[in-house]
Chain A
Amino acid sequence: SAVISQKPSRDICQRGTSLTIQCQVDSQVTMMFWYRQQPGQSLTLIATANQGSEATYESGFVIDKFPISRPNLTFSTLTVSNMSPEDSSIYLCSVGEANYGYTFGSGTRLTVV
Protein backbone atom coordinates (compact mmCIF):
# COMPACT_ATOMS: atom_id res chain seq x y z
CA SER A 1 0.00 0.00 0.00
CA ALA A 2 1.04 3.60 -0.57
CA VAL A 3 2.99 5.53 2.06
CA ILE A 4 1.93 9.13 2.65
CA SER A 5 4.07 11.86 4.17
CA GLN A 6 1.99 14.74 5.48
CA LYS A 7 3.27 17.98 6.89
CA PRO A 8 3.20 19.93 9.04
CA SER A 9 2.15 17.51 11.75
CA ARG A 10 0.76 20.34 13.84
CA ASP A 11 0.57 24.11 13.86
CA ILE A 12 -0.88 26.94 15.89
CA CYS A 13 -2.07 29.83 13.73
CA GLN A 14 -3.52 33.27 14.25
CA ARG A 15 -7.07 33.88 13.08
CA GLY A 16 -7.30 35.49 9.67
CA THR A 17 -4.15 33.78 8.37
CA SER A 18 -3.81 30.78 6.04
CA LEU A 19 -2.04 27.44 6.36
CA THR A 20 -0.99 25.13 3.56
CA ILE A 21 -0.78 21.39 4.26
CA GLN A 22 1.26 19.14 2.03
CA CYS A 23 0.89 15.48 1.19
CA GLN A 24 3.54 13.48 -0.65
CA VAL A 25 2.83 9.91 -1.78
CA ASP A 26 5.54 7.36 -2.56
CA SER A 27 3.74 6.16 -5.71
CA GLN A 28 1.60 7.64 -8.44
CA VAL A 29 -2.08 7.75 -7.56
CA THR A 30 -5.10 8.92 -9.47
CA MET A 31 -7.21 10.33 -6.68
CA MET A 32 -6.28 12.03 -3.45
CA PHE A 33 -8.80 12.85 -0.77
CA TRP A 34 -8.77 15.53 1.92
CA TYR A 35 -10.67 15.00 5.18
CA ARG A 36 -11.37 17.08 8.25
CA GLN A 37 -11.75 15.60 11.71
CA GLN A 38 -13.15 18.06 14.20
CA PRO A 39 -12.45 17.51 17.91
CA GLY A 40 -14.14 14.34 19.13
CA GLN A 41 -15.73 13.74 15.74
CA SER A 42 -15.27 11.35 12.87
CA LEU A 43 -13.82 12.12 9.45
CA THR A 44 -15.67 14.28 6.94
CA LEU A 45 -14.58 14.48 3.31
CA ILE A 46 -13.65 17.97 2.18
CA ALA A 47 -12.79 17.31 -1.45
CA THR A 48 -11.42 14.85 -3.99
CA ALA A 49 -8.39 15.95 -5.99
CA ASN A 50 -7.54 14.48 -9.39
CA GLN A 51 -4.39 15.47 -11.19
CA GLY A 52 -5.05 17.81 -14.08
CA SER A 53 -8.56 18.84 -13.08
CA GLU A 54 -10.33 20.99 -10.52
CA ALA A 55 -10.97 19.41 -7.16
CA THR A 56 -14.50 18.24 -6.40
CA TYR A 57 -15.82 19.70 -3.15
CA GLU A 58 -18.38 18.16 -0.84
CA SER A 59 -21.44 20.01 0.36
CA GLY A 60 -20.49 22.63 2.91
CA PHE A 61 -16.94 23.11 1.65
CA VAL A 62 -15.93 25.76 -0.90
CA ILE A 63 -12.84 26.37 -2.97
CA ASP A 64 -12.30 29.89 -1.64
CA LYS A 65 -11.95 28.52 1.89
CA PHE A 66 -10.11 25.29 1.08
CA PRO A 67 -8.16 25.71 -2.19
CA ILE A 68 -6.47 22.51 -3.33
CA SER A 69 -3.59 21.98 -5.72
CA ARG A 70 -2.70 18.71 -7.44
CA PRO A 71 0.32 19.46 -9.65
CA ASN A 72 1.29 15.82 -10.28
CA LEU A 73 0.36 12.23 -9.43
CA THR A 74 2.31 12.09 -6.15
CA PHE A 75 1.64 15.44 -4.49
CA SER A 76 -1.22 17.63 -3.28
CA THR A 77 -1.75 20.60 -1.01
CA LEU A 78 -4.74 21.84 0.95
CA THR A 79 -4.87 25.44 2.12
CA VAL A 80 -7.10 26.51 4.97
CA SER A 81 -7.76 30.19 4.29
CA ASN A 82 -8.78 33.11 6.49
CA MET A 83 -8.82 30.84 9.51
CA SER A 84 -11.11 31.14 12.49
CA PRO A 85 -11.14 29.09 15.72
CA GLU A 86 -13.86 26.90 14.17
CA ASP A 87 -11.24 25.63 11.71
CA SER A 88 -9.32 23.99 14.55
CA SER A 89 -9.31 20.34 13.51
CA ILE A 90 -7.16 17.51 12.29
CA TYR A 91 -6.77 17.55 8.51
CA LEU A 92 -5.92 14.29 6.76
CA CYS A 93 -5.08 13.29 3.24
CA SER A 94 -5.82 9.87 1.83
CA VAL A 95 -5.23 7.86 -1.32
CA GLY A 96 -6.73 4.68 -2.67
CA GLU A 97 -9.81 3.19 -4.25
CA ALA A 98 -12.62 0.86 -3.28
CA ASN A 99 -11.08 -2.28 -4.78
CA TYR A 100 -7.76 -1.90 -2.97
CA GLY A 101 -8.48 0.10 0.15
CA TYR A 102 -7.47 3.52 1.34
CA THR A 103 -4.36 4.77 3.16
CA PHE A 104 -4.23 7.87 5.33
CA GLY A 105 -1.53 10.31 6.21
CA SER A 106 -0.68 10.93 9.84
CA GLY A 107 -2.69 14.14 9.91
CA THR A 108 -2.13 17.83 10.60
CA ARG A 109 -3.42 19.07 13.94
CA LEU A 110 -4.40 22.71 13.45
CA THR A 111 -5.20 25.07 16.31
CA VAL A 112 -6.44 28.56 15.48
CA VAL A 113 -6.13 31.19 18.21
Chain B
Amino acid sequence: EDQVTQSPEALRLQEGESSSLNCSYTVSGLRGLFWYRQDPGKGPEFLFTLYSAGEEKEKERLKATLTKKESFLHITAPKPEDSATYLCAVTQGAQKLVFGQGTRLTINP
Protein backbone atom coordinates (compact mmCIF):
# COMPACT_ATOMS: atom_id res chain seq x y z
CA GLU B 1 0.00 0.00 0.00
CA ASP B 2 1.29 3.45 -0.92
CA GLN B 3 2.29 5.49 2.08
CA VAL B 4 3.41 9.07 2.56
CA THR B 5 4.83 10.31 5.87
CA GLN B 6 5.61 13.93 6.52
CA SER B 7 7.74 15.33 9.31
CA PRO B 8 7.65 17.29 11.44
CA GLU B 9 3.90 17.63 12.05
CA ALA B 10 4.39 21.24 13.05
CA LEU B 11 7.31 23.63 12.79
CA ARG B 12 7.68 27.09 14.22
CA LEU B 13 10.48 29.31 12.91
CA GLN B 14 11.60 32.86 13.31
CA GLU B 15 11.52 35.05 10.24
CA GLY B 16 14.72 34.46 8.28
CA GLU B 17 15.43 31.09 9.92
CA SER B 18 15.87 28.51 7.14
CA SER B 19 14.74 24.91 7.54
CA SER B 20 13.54 21.81 5.69
CA LEU B 21 10.37 19.74 5.63
CA ASN B 22 10.56 16.01 4.95
CA CYS B 23 8.30 13.72 2.95
CA SER B 24 9.08 9.99 3.00
CA TYR B 25 7.21 7.72 0.63
CA THR B 26 6.78 4.08 -0.25
CA VAL B 27 5.22 3.55 -3.65
CA SER B 28 5.96 1.22 -6.49
CA GLY B 29 6.34 2.90 -9.83
CA LEU B 30 6.34 6.52 -8.71
CA ARG B 31 4.92 8.74 -11.44
CA GLY B 32 5.19 11.99 -9.58
CA LEU B 33 5.67 13.62 -6.18
CA PHE B 34 3.75 16.81 -5.55
CA TRP B 35 4.10 19.61 -3.03
CA TYR B 36 1.14 21.81 -2.17
CA ARG B 37 0.58 24.73 0.12
CA GLN B 38 -2.76 24.99 1.93
CA ASP B 39 -3.97 28.06 3.78
CA PRO B 40 -6.78 27.73 6.34
CA GLY B 41 -10.20 27.39 4.70
CA LYS B 42 -8.77 27.08 1.19
CA GLY B 43 -7.99 24.33 -1.26
CA PRO B 44 -4.41 23.18 -1.82
CA GLU B 45 -2.28 25.41 -4.03
CA PHE B 46 0.17 23.67 -6.34
CA LEU B 47 3.88 24.31 -5.73
CA PHE B 48 6.03 21.65 -7.40
CA THR B 49 6.03 18.33 -9.20
CA LEU B 50 9.10 16.09 -9.10
CA TYR B 51 9.37 13.03 -11.30
CA SER B 52 12.77 11.40 -10.82
CA ALA B 53 15.47 11.05 -8.18
CA GLY B 54 17.95 13.91 -8.29
CA GLU B 55 15.43 16.39 -9.62
CA GLU B 56 15.24 19.83 -7.99
CA LYS B 57 12.83 22.73 -8.47
CA GLU B 58 12.81 26.23 -7.02
CA LYS B 59 10.26 28.95 -6.57
CA GLU B 60 11.09 32.10 -4.65
CA ARG B 61 12.17 30.96 -1.14
CA LEU B 62 11.20 27.33 -1.73
CA LYS B 63 13.27 24.52 -3.17
CA ALA B 64 12.08 20.93 -3.55
CA THR B 65 14.37 17.93 -3.98
CA LEU B 66 13.71 14.25 -4.58
CA THR B 67 15.53 11.00 -3.80
CA LYS B 68 14.34 7.44 -4.27
CA LYS B 69 12.80 7.39 -0.79
CA GLU B 70 12.04 10.95 0.21
CA SER B 71 11.60 14.55 -0.77
CA PHE B 72 12.61 17.71 1.01
CA LEU B 73 11.06 21.14 0.85
CA HIS B 74 13.73 23.64 1.79
CA ILE B 75 12.61 27.07 2.94
CA THR B 76 15.26 29.77 2.81
CA ALA B 77 14.92 32.96 4.86
CA PRO B 78 11.15 32.49 5.34
CA LYS B 79 8.72 35.32 5.85
CA PRO B 80 5.49 35.35 7.90
CA GLU B 81 3.47 34.99 4.68
CA ASP B 82 5.06 31.56 4.21
CA SER B 83 3.02 30.32 7.17
CA ALA B 84 0.72 27.54 5.93
CA THR B 85 0.30 23.79 5.90
CA TYR B 86 2.56 22.12 3.35
CA LEU B 87 1.25 18.89 1.86
CA CYS B 88 3.17 16.21 0.03
CA ALA B 89 1.45 13.71 -2.26
CA VAL B 90 2.49 10.90 -4.60
CA THR B 91 0.88 9.22 -7.55
CA GLN B 92 1.60 6.04 -9.44
CA GLY B 93 -0.20 4.24 -12.19
CA ALA B 94 -3.69 4.87 -10.85
CA GLN B 95 -3.38 8.63 -11.35
CA LYS B 96 -4.86 9.36 -7.94
CA LEU B 97 -2.96 11.29 -5.31
CA VAL B 98 -2.04 9.84 -1.91
CA PHE B 99 -1.38 12.60 0.60
CA GLY B 100 0.76 12.82 3.68
CA GLN B 101 -0.58 14.35 6.87
CA GLY B 102 1.07 17.69 6.20
CA THR B 103 3.46 19.97 8.06
CA ARG B 104 1.96 23.03 9.71
CA LEU B 105 4.55 25.80 9.34
CA THR B 106 4.44 29.00 11.38
CA ILE B 107 6.86 31.84 10.75
CA ASN B 108 7.05 34.38 13.55
CA PRO B 109 8.03 37.95 12.71
The residue that B44 contacts in the complex, of A6, A43, A45, with Cβ under 8 A, is A43
Q: Is the interface of A mostly helix, strand, loop or mixed?
A: strand
Q: How many residues of B contact A (CB 8 A)?
A: 22
Closest to B91 in A: A98
Across the interface, do A107 and B41 meet the contact criterion of CB distance under 8 Å?
yes
Q: How many residues of A contact B (CB 8 A)?
A: 24
Give, as a whole number of angstroms, the nearest-CB distance from A92 to chain B. 5
Instruction: Of the listed stretches B64-72, B75-83, B92-100, name the one at the interface; the rest are far from the partner chain.
Output: B92-100
Q: A48-B96, A98-B95, A101-B34 known; 17 other A-B pairs, CB under 8 Å? A: A33-B96, A33-B97, A42-B87, A42-B99, A43-B44, A43-B87, A44-B99, A45-B96, A48-B95, A58-B96, A98-B32, A99-B32, A102-B34, A102-B46, A103-B46, A107-B42, A109-B41
Binding site for B on A (CB under 8 A): 1, 6, 31, 33, 41-45, 48, 58, 92, 94, 97-99, 101-107, 109
